[in-house]
Chains A and B, each alone.
Chain A
Amino acid sequence: MATAIVMPKLSDTMTEGKILKWNKKEGDSISSGDALADVETDKATLELEAYEDGTLLKVVVPEGGSAPVGATVAVLGEKGEDISSLVTAAAEKVEEKPKPEGKPKEAQAKLAEMPRHPVREIPRATPRPGRLLASPLARRMARDSGVELSAVQGSGPGGRIVARDIKEAARRAPARVAAPAPAAPLLLELPARPAEARLELTGMRRVIAERMSQSKREAPHFYLSVDVDMEAADELRRELKSAGARVSLNDFMLKAAGFALLKVPEANRTFEGDHIRQVASVDVGMAVALPEGLVSPVVRGIDRLGLLGVGAVARDLAERARGKRLKPEEYTGGSVTVSNLGMLGIDSFLAIINPPQPAILAVGTVAERPAVVDGKVVARKRTWITLSGDHRVIDGAVGARYLGAVRDALERPLALMA
């Protein structure tokens, strides 16, 4: 019966062998002990020895070929025997790993039972009164981001505060007073430094450049600021939210800007070169930042929309602005624009008027600030709103009455619901 001659394991570290030379060829008769071939192992060249008598029926691995340990390299048998199954099997055969004697698990169990030198248990991290457990990185991040460690629940072993806990706390924390920037991005990973390059003007960039230059060149800007108490608006927002409504403080701003245009129609005028136009409709623009620039879609007929309606229209416009799916008529016109940088932690700023509009409102962050109420200094949610006015259309007094109306609407926000 034909038998397979396999690549023997000739050294401890051998995984494969190379047939350097066959000393016998197919058809040769073989006696046990004959050196069939020279095999190069990972260490040395050794002989592949026959252990049986017979005829070399088939050389499977030719000279110069390699085979893994255990793979068939030749077939030995009687002349004329059918060896096709052995040869096919050889082609398919994968090296079978030698089965280890005994079981590793048993060895492990026995090892566990073996007597040991007494080893004192090292105390692991456990909460200790008066001692806050926090990783050095977590402490550094808390220091840098102003997160109060004692207010953070640690998620590491024994309640250790680790980096991810600080990240989470910084993310959840409301915009902090005097936070120079949103708390989240600690400068742990700086972005790659960009290469010097010439960046062509995009269409949007070109329009912004032209219109802002024109505005600053032609429209004499003046600026008025008010410090607005947002407690009532914020409380109303929270009530609406808890009732399931989607509403943001920016919606209050838009609605108040429109409401004030109704109260002060002299502010609802545009400069048209050789004349001034009194506008009848109440349309308020909102600045939306995009990666490549800025666009100001307009919420039209804001006097006919309730606060929640304003919010719905504003969200739809903002979303389509980011997707660049606005129609041209949706970002032209309007009498005043609201530019809100509060979400970026800006306290107050001066905006450039979007011509031919007569004014723009620059809204800062809403944060707790000291305020005087009934002769006492208390913490109140406040925000700065700064109006930039085009002196060709409106004067300081008109601007002041308009901005005052905006403030009044925000401080008594129930009127905005209608």
Chain B
Amino acid sequence: MPQITYREALNQAMREEMARDPDIFLMGEDVGRYQGAFKVSQGLFEEFGERRVVDTPISELGFAGLGIGAAMAGLRPIVEMMTWNFALLAMDQIINNAAKIRSMSGGQFTAPMVLRGPQGAGHQLSSQHSQVLEMHYASIPGLVVIAAGVPRDAKGLLKSACRAKDPVIFFESERLYPVKGEVPEGEYTLPIGVADVKREGGDVTIVCWGRMVYPALEGAELLAKDGIDAEVVDLRTLRPWDRDRVAHSLAKTHRCVVVEEGWPQCGMGATVADFVQRECFDDLDAPVARVHGADVNMSYNKHHEQLILPDGPKVAEAARSVSYAE
């Protein structure tokens, strides 16, 4: 199986889907002639032309709304947000229109579309450009929210997102774009809402998603040196999320560490921890531990950034604490 980058995996998914379905078009800032701010859309303008790869002005609210209208009218837009930090401007369209149109029109209209782009830390991009904002979308009924961590999941899930019946929010990461991994060639889709066990183990369950798959796996390797066998459960989809897979793993390990890049309060990690304490109470041998970004605005300083973000050693430390192994 070829090794390609996360960026190329997304590019492949879009190219294949656009070739398959003439109703799919890509729209966003610099996606066309410039080939994308992060080169995710490289070559698509050349291949599909300016009617299907559309450069927009810097107007997130405007082109998000344009996409929703197009979707309601029967097209299948992929809207690239240069980063989800900028998409804050488009939240009214996404939350009030895209998420609601199916239920509020009694099913007369739907908005099948993909809104995708990176979130989270790059390298020293400071407070306004390093945010994890997934919780704002993952809490909204009517949206599907995906956060793929590895290239093969990025391709399989983006292709499924392009065929979904509802608006899909697709979270990527600037740090993930150059990461390589095995990706099947050609037609390959993955089910939305199904978690993936990235590493099997019997001693502690590490729940993660998006870029955090890598610190989770690194933490698991560190734990293996201490004789602690960690199971890494990658949610991949945040709404709907795979509660069964998590409960199933906990019935085996009795210990849970939830890893997320963003802030600790009101996020996906809190949601997972809430579910685990309620539905898996009698399985727990320790409180649910959480590893998350520090509860501060991101620093520009390189070392501070490192201290703020979760990493493998932090994951291992949390897992050791719930395993009562000091």
Contact = CB atoms under 8 A, between A and B. Distances in A.
Contacts of B283: 136-137
A38 to B, nearest CB: 15
Contact of A44 (B5, B39, B174, B306): B39
User: In this complex, which of B175, B282, B303 has the most chain A Cβ atoms within 10 angstroms of its Cβ?
Assistant: B303
B59 to A, nearest CB: 24
A15 interface: yes
A12 B122 CA distance: 9
A44 B122 CA distance: 18
A139 B285 CA distance: 9
B7 interface: yes
B7 A140 contact: no
What is the predominant secondary structure among interface residues of chain B facing chain A?
A: loop
B307 A156 contact: no
Interface in A102-132: 102-104, 106-108, 111
A241 interface: no
User: Size class of B's contact patch?
Assistant: 20 to 34
Nearest to B39: A43
B324 A104 contact: no
A43 B38 contact: yes
A139 B292 CA distance: 30
A42 B39 CA distance: 8
B326 to A, nearest CB: 9
Contacts of B136: none
Contacts of A107: 301, 303-304, 307
Contacts of A43: 7, 38-39, 177
A13 B285 contact: no
Contact of B284 (A106, A136, A164): A136
A42 B303 contact: no
Interface in A72-118: 100-104, 106-108, 111
Nearest to A166: B285
Given A12-B122, A13-B178, A14-B178, A108 B39 contact: no
A194 to B, nearest CB: 20
A385 interface: no
Interface in A1-54: 12-15, 42-44
Interface string B158-195: 00000000000000001101100000000000000000
A162 interface: yes
A156 B286 contact: yes
Contacts of A140: 282
A189 interface: yes
B85 interface: no
A353 interface: no
B303 A13 contact: no
A155 interface: yes
User: Size class of A's contact patch?
Assistant: 20 to 34
A138 interface: yes
A135 interface: yes
What is the predominant secondary structure among interface residues of chain A facing chain B?
A: loop
B254 interface: yes
A104 B284 contact: no
Contact of B285 (A100, A106, A135): A135
Interface in A161-175: 162-164
Interface string B293-309: 00000000111101100
Nearest to B125: A12
Nearest to A13: B178
B275 to A, nearest CB: 15
Contacts of B177: 13, 42-43
B178 A15 contact: yes
A156 B35 CA distance: 56
A155 B301 contact: no
A42 B284 contact: no
Contact of B307 (A14, A108, A139): A108
A162 B175 CA distance: 39
A78 B217 CA distance: 50
Contacts of A15: 178
Interface in A323-374: none
A163 B254 contact: yes
Interface in B244-286: 252, 254, 281-286
Contacts of A12: 122-123
Nearest to B7: A42
Contacts of B178: 13-15, 42
Nearest to A100: B302
Contacts of B301: 107
Interface in A219-243: none
B167 to A, nearest CB: 28
Instruction: Rank and list the top 9 A-B pairs by shortest CB-CB distance, nearest first.
Output: A107-B303, A42-B178, A137-B285, A43-B39, A163-B285, A135-B285, A104-B303, A140-B282, A13-B178
Interface of A: 12-15, 42-44, 100-104, 106-108, 111, 135-140, 155-157, 162-164, 189
5 contacts: A42-B7, A43-B39, A106-B303, A107-B304, A108-B307
Interface of B: 5, 7, 35, 38-39, 42, 122-123, 174-175, 177-178, 252, 254, 281-286, 301-304, 306-307, 324
Given A12-B123, A137-B254, 14 more contacts: A13-B174, A13-B177, A42-B5, A42-B177, A43-B177, A101-B302, A106-B303, A107-B303, A108-B303, A135-B284, A136-B283, A137-B283, A156-B324, A157-B324
